[in-house]
Structure formats: structure tokens, C-alpha cells
Structure 1
Amino acid sequence: MAAVDRVRARQRELGITESFEWVAETTPGLRAPVEDSGLVVHEHPLMVLDPGAPVPAADAPSGGIRVRTMGPDDPALASALAVPHLAFAEPGTDLGSAGVTELAEAVRARAGDGSVERVVTRIDAGLTSVAAAVEGSTALCAGQHQPVGSVSEIVGVGTLPTARRRGLAAAVTAALVADARSRGAETVFLSAGDDDVARLYARLGFRRVATALIAEPAA
């Protein structure tokens, strides 16, 4: 536990979130000292789309919604970065309460905090790619992938709670995989929010290979 405490102290010194992420099956002894330090550990299915597996097929959204990867000047980028936060605040796959009004408020609240600029820098450097299902100039679902060599991780796929159950997350995930493959990624992986979400990814060809553990301070 002393080593965990030292890492947490260093994270505080750097002004970053006190958190740990690891794979349960490869480092089984880490969970106990992390929990003893006061952090809460969450379990997530770790899933992979194997090299050679086809790009997932997903139905195109209806009603004028378009799925696209986003450049740094895309007018919907700010909403694409905000929508996953609303999605994760209401976890699961059922319809929720947050809609376009709450999304507009979230975009306004993040304006000027540098978060969009940081992602733009990563997009320009080829470190992050953003895809979204956009209606008008508003992203209803969005996610990212982060390539490193021949591997890329899909992160932060979330749908506006009032827009769930329309196949948007599947379409965005398929777009992210296609973009990752176009950039040379052979293996694409992700951590699903829970078993229900994992079943959705399984329909796209991802298979569970392990359990990702994420530890963070209690809410």
C-alpha cells in the first residue's frame, strides 16, 4: 500500500486525477492495496476486435443524422466532446433525461476551459480521432480512438440519454474502427461500461478477453 500512496501523492503534486487503471488478470495483487488506500475500484469488460476481423457493420442512422469523423474545425466538435459526460452521468442503455438543452448548457459550461483546444491539439498530432452522430450541428453520440502504432483504444463512446436506443453508438463505434484501420491499426480494443454495454459491442464483433479495473476516489 505504501507504493500506492506514493503514486497518489505524486498525482496530487502534478494536479492530475488520483486514479489507477490495470487488467485484473495480469496484476491480481494490485486491487487489495488500492482499495486499502481508500480508492473505489470499478470493473469493466475488456474487449478486443482482433486483427483481420472485419470493420463492424452498423445500420445508418435515420432522420437526417449523419455519422462522421471530425476535423479540428468541425462546428459540432464541442458538443461531441461534451455529450459523453452527460451519457456517463446517466449510465446504462435505457433512455434518460438529459437532452439537447442540457447538452447546450454543458457546451457553454466547458467553453474557455481549454478542453476543446487540448483535443484539437491531439487531433492535429494524430493522437486522437473523434467520430460523432450529428443532427444539424449537434452531436447526439460521440467517441474517440487513440492510436499507438498498430493498436488503438476506443474510449468515451456515449449517447445523449434522450437519443438512446437508435443505434447511434454502434454507428459511431463502426466509424471509429474504420478510421483506426485506415490509420494502420490492426488491433482495436475498448473497456465496456458494464455487461449490458458489452453485449452491444459483442454484436459488432468485439470479444471479451479480460477485466479492466479502474480505481478512483469515492464520489
Structure 2
Amino acid sequence: MNDYEVIERIDAFCDAVPRQRARAEMIGPLVLFVPVGPGWPYYARARVDERLPIGAADVRSVRARQRELLIPESFEWIGQTAPEMAAAALEAGLRVHAHPLLVLDALTAVPEVPPRVSVRLVAPSDPELDLVWAVPGVAFAHPGTEIGEAGVTERDKLAAGHDGGTIEMLRDRLRSGRSVLATASGPNGPLAAGSYQLATGIAEITGVGVLPASRRRGLGAAVTHALAFDALQRGARTIFLSATDPTVARIYARLGFREIGTAMIAEPPDG
């Protein structure tokens, strides 16, 4: 299978997974996923069933529908399968971000972690589930790979404000096996976390984050390795992820991932 065939498989996955808990609305050449029930919102993207030209007017139509539904004006796609989407999004007034899209070739050896830190998969009944889920929220609120001050205090504060419906939805996904969550924890609880979702033999690793105060210790790499290893054990034939930037992509490359394409995101300038 050549790289473009792999990209097309990933593109189909990104269209299929939201349909597990969202309603698909076709708006010209784009599809908007509207959440059904509690949980995180999804995005709009180029249709995979029919490749049609995409223009700024199409993006504006979707944005109007998102505002009507009171959901984020978010678009995600793969640059290689919808090359005109970026220009259309820019013309429609959105800010466009490009991120390295990586696929796993062969998983390397298990990364070392500091003493008193353990890496584990998180069970649906894990009493620290809310803390684990809060870690990426803190991490992405402080982007980059530099060591920072935010740590367990910020994690605990964010966890205390979790919506009960979202946590129960997460437990349900973990029970069903649609999602798998992993964490690297120390004496003060979860310090790094990430997850993957599996469908049709394809696994996407998402949301890998490390508390800023615990960065530069190999925890993100260890969590990613644990997720990839488990996905392989469960029969995943393609494992992919998108990196924030080339610096982060190099971390994943040391685990056996290589860049295959470009993951694109568009959002309002104030988003």
C-alpha cells in the first residue's frame, strides 16, 4: 500500500468515527458533524463520498449553520485529499493551521521513565479517571514543550469542574473499547495522558499531553508508546497521529512514526 492509499484510509476513518455519536449534515461539498448527546463537539470537513470543488461560499454556509447550532466553528481535513480547502477557509475568514500527519512504521523499544513513575492503561472504573482526563486540558492550555509552572494544582482544579455527562460518556467509550486511555503517573497522580480510538483496523492517537511542570522527562513518549503497543495488540493495521509542530513530530519519530501528510485545522481568528 502506497502512502496516498494510507492517507485515503485515514481520511475515511476521520469521516467514519464522528458518526458514532454525531449526526452528519451534508452542506454542499462539506459534511458537518452535529453532536448527539453529551461530550465533546466535532468538526466539519470535506466529504469523502463525493469529491466536489470547495469554495469560500461553502465554508461560510457551514459556519452559519454552526453558529445556528451553537457549536464551534471548527474544520479539520487532510491537506492531500482536499487541497483547495485551505484557500477556501482563508477566504471565508478563518485561520488555518497545518500540522505534521504521522503514521507508525514499526514501534521502537519502550522509552525509559523516571523512578516512581508508572505507565498504565486506564480502566473505566479507575478512581483517577477525572484527573487523567484533566491532564491534556492543562497541557494544551500551556502549549509547547518547555517546562512550566502549571502542574498538579491546575490539574486538580480542572478535574473538579468536569461535566459529569462527559466523564460518563468517556467511561462508556472505555467500556466499549471504542477509546483507550493511558497515563503516566507519579506519587501525586497523573502527570501525562493520551488516548486512541480504534475503528475498521485504524487507530488514531490523540490528546497526548504532559503537565508543564513534568515536561522533558519522556512521559509523553512513554504514553504514546503504550497506546501504540495496545492498538497493535488489538489488531490495528494503521496507527496515526498529528503533531503540533515539527519539534513534537521528531519526538514521535523516535518511537517509529514518520510523516506522511498534513493535518489541517481551521477556526475563527479569535478561536
TM range (shorter): over 0.9
* Paired residues, number: 215
- Are residues 1:133 and 2:184 paired? yes
- Are residues 1:120 and 2:175 paired? no
Residue 167 (structure 1) aligns with: 218
Q: 1:149 & 1:114 partners in 2: Cα distance? A: 27
What is the CA distance between 1:136 and its match in structure 2? 3.6
Residue 29 (structure 1) aligns with: 84
Q: 1:113 & 1:38 partners in 2: Cα distance? A: 35
CA offsets per residue over residues 156-189 of structure 1, 9 Å max, x none?
0000000001110111001000111121101100
Aligned-pair identity in percent equals 50
User: CA, structure 1 residues 122+14, in 2 after alignment: closer, same or farther (shift >3 Å)?
Assistant: farther
User: CA, structure 1 residues 137+130, in 2 after alignment: closer, same or farther (shift >3 Å)?
Assistant: farther
What is the CA distance between 1:29 and its match in structure 2? 0.7
Residue 58 (structure 1) aligns with: 110
Letter in 1 for 2:259: R
Residue 69 (structure 1) aligns with: 121
Query: Is residue 111–residue 225 contact of structure 2 (8 Å, CA) maintained in 1?
Result: no
Alignment of 1:134-213 (within 5 A): 134-136=185-187, 138-213=189-264
Residue 10 (structure 2) aligns with: none
Q: 1:12 & 1:183 partners in 2: Cα distance? A: 39
Letter in 2 for 1:24: G
Query: Is residue 104–residue 256 contact of structure 2 (8 Å, CA) maintained in 1?
Result: yes
| SS at 1:114 equivalent | helix
Alignment of 1:78-93 (within 5 A): 78-93=130-145
| SS at 2:58 equivalent | helix
Letter in 2 for 1:143: G
Q: 2:174 & 2:164 partners in 1: Cα distance? A: 18
What is the CA distance between 1:113 and its match in structure 2? 4.5
Q: Which runs of 5+ in 1 are unaligned?
A: none
What is the CA distance between 1:137 and its match in structure 2? 6.1
Query: Is residue 45–residue 198 contact of structure 1 (8 Å, CA) maintained in 2?
Result: yes
What is the CA distance between 1:4 and its match in structure 2? 1.1
Letter in 2 for 1:73: S
Residue 98 (structure 1) aligns with: 150
User: CA, structure 1 residues 151+7, in 2 after alignment: closer, same or farther (shift >3 Å)?
Assistant: same
Q: 2:264 & 2:88 partners in 1: Cα distance? A: 13
Residue 35 (structure 2) aligns with: none
What is the CA distance between 1:58 and its match in structure 2? 2.8
What is the CA distance between 1:216 and its match in structure 2? 1.4
Query: Is residue 76–residue 134 contact of structure 1 (8 Å, CA) maintained in 2?
Result: no
Of structures 1 and 2, the one scoring higher in RCO (CA 8 A, sep 6+) is 1
TM-score (norm 1): 0.92
What is the CA distance between 1:9 and its match in structure 2? 2.6
Q: 1:142 & 1:196 partners in 2: Cα distance? A: 19
Between stretches 144-153 and 30-39, larger displacement belongs to 30-39
| SS at 2:84 equivalent | helix
Letter in 2 for 1:106: L
**Considering only aligned residues, what root-mean-square deviation do their CA atoms show, in Å?**
1.5
